[in-house]
A = this chain, B = another copy of it.
């Protein structure tokens, strides 16, 4: 695993727990975690149960005893690491967004395609597809339970920047993070809406905005919780992004990504309206799916709150009895399970680097539309 921030903890939990609950065809070993700060990465290795730590990712990627490279660094380093790993014949799991630019993502997708020819797998970490309720939503749509999709609303709402004095972390720097709310959380909204509907955005109109454009520089500390320093720096990414997209079926989808929606902590919400039904999902209530079945008798129709915790719901078989809830990090176990099974079976795992590239193109089109007065803008392909 390259990187050891917040995502490193989540991925580690996935690698540790998945083999204890799922009957995996191959047993992952948590070999080595790589970071730039030798002491800090050694501490992370100890805390999270990795056998070794290292500071030179190129050396690790070259090792014969490494089969899989899991990339959890900021987006600006994804391309170089992933391409090197794929070229070294390692299966690659890369956090989202795939890269900070379409160009990088294209290069990664080409490397992934070439690697696939040699039996080397690659996957991008849109883990919310692995929340059981989201996977079940996909099943319902795929089974035709919603009829023809008429319109989509997807939003990812947080409020951790509402304090104008919150410090300037790397997530607020364009060079490191690529974009702000759009790339960090809007990417999830796009991927999840596309996953559940089975459709793709083909063109967009959007607007992005930075609501607080100067913040205190980050003092000592790590990750989201670093403390603020006296000096101030410029926020170079968006705080909010609103955009509308046309899906390949012609249906319209409306999107919102915001880190300023007061009181919303992690509200990735998708609502799909179809000619035969509707679905609503909210990550803040991730064990639930709301389903409206318009084929029911007219007087009995209503959004029903399905607890997606039954043994036969997606991913649920090895977990607890019905009504016993899963949490955020279970998606990482499910991701490991799917990745390991796909590698073992020689099937290309999804979401692929091509899927990740597509999302990058959506984000890019939103940025271009926003820069051009929100005019409708097609994806560059």
A interface residues (Cβ-Cβ under 8 A, vs B): 6, 9-10, 12-13, 16-17, 20, 47-49, 136, 140, 146, 150-151, 153, 158-160, 162, 164, 205, 207, 209, 211, 224-225, 240, 242, 244, 252, 254, 256, 258, 260-267, 271, 273-275, 277-278, 283-287, 289-294, 298-307, 309-313, 320-330, 373-376
Contact = CB atoms under 8 A, between A and B. Distances in A.
Chain A contact residues, majority secondary structure: mixed
Contact of A20 (B47, B290, B326): B47
Contacts of A330: 327
Nearest to A307: B265
29 contacts: A12-B20, A16-B17, A140-B300, A150-B162, A150-B211, A150-B260, A150-B262, A162-B273, A164-B275, A205-B374, A207-B244, A207-B252, A209-B252, A242-B244, A262-B273, A262-B292, A265-B307, A283-B325, A284-B307, A284-B323, A298-B310, A299-B306, A299-B310, A299-B313, A301-B304, A302-B307, A320-B329, A326-B327, A373-B375
Given A13-B17, A205-B207, A298 B312 contact: yes
Contact of A262 (B294, B327, B374): B294
A54 B376 CA distance: 51
A263 B240 contact: no
Contacts of A12: 20
A47 B21 CA distance: 7
A302 B304 contact: yes
A292 B275 contact: no
A260 B162 contact: no
A309 B301 CA distance: 11
The 9 closest A-B pairs by CB, nearest first: A265-B323, A266-B323, A327-B327, A304-B304, A263-B292, A302-B306, A302-B304, A262-B278, A205-B374
A53 to B, nearest CB: 15
A301 B374 contact: no
Given A209-B252, A302-B305, A373-B375, A151 B261 contact: yes
B277 A262 contact: yes
B300 A291 contact: yes
Contacts of A240: 151, 252
Contacts of A267: 323
A20 B49 contact: yes
Given A240-B252, A325-B286, A6 B320 contact: yes
